[in-house]
């Protein structure tokens, strides 16, 4: 575990690498994760996916912010989630 901060700027593939990134992070690390999301309610699904992946890997996450980074199409945009992680207590 070496990373205190990770930037995952590739929006079309970052989610699939999140479990590996979590394994390289220290407790309290900040992750900046970009993804393509639908304009209508896509952020909720995005946050849900982050929480699920973190939980399955044994981490709790605290979402600091979700923001629209770029417009991608008429129905989608690139979003950025900033969140911190902690190893879940047993």
DSSP string for the chain: --EEEEEE--TTTHHHHHHHHHHTEEEEEEEEEEEEEETTTHHHHHHHHHHHHHHHTTEEEEEEEEEEEEEEETTEEEEEEEEEEEEPP-
- Written as tens digits, the pLDDT of the chain (90 aa) is 689 999 999 998 889 999 999 999 999 999 999 999 999 889 999 999 999 999 999 999 999 999 988 888 899 999 999 999 999 876
- pTM exceeding the 0.75 threshold for the entire prediction: yes
Which pLDDT does position 57 carry in this prediction? Answer: 94
Contact 82, 65 (CB under 8 A): yes
């Amino acid at each position: 575990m070496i990373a205190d901060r990770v930037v995952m700027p590739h929006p079309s593939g970052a989610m699939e690498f999140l479990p590996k990134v979590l394994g390289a992070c220290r407790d309290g690390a900040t992750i900046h994760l970009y993804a393509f999301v639908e304009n209508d309610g896509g952020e909720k699904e995005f946050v849900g996916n982050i929480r699920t992946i973190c939980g399955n890997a044994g981490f709790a996450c605290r979402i600091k912010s979700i923001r629209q980074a770029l417009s991608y199409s008429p129905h989608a945009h690139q979003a950025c989630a900033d969140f911190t992680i902690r190893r879940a207590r047993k």
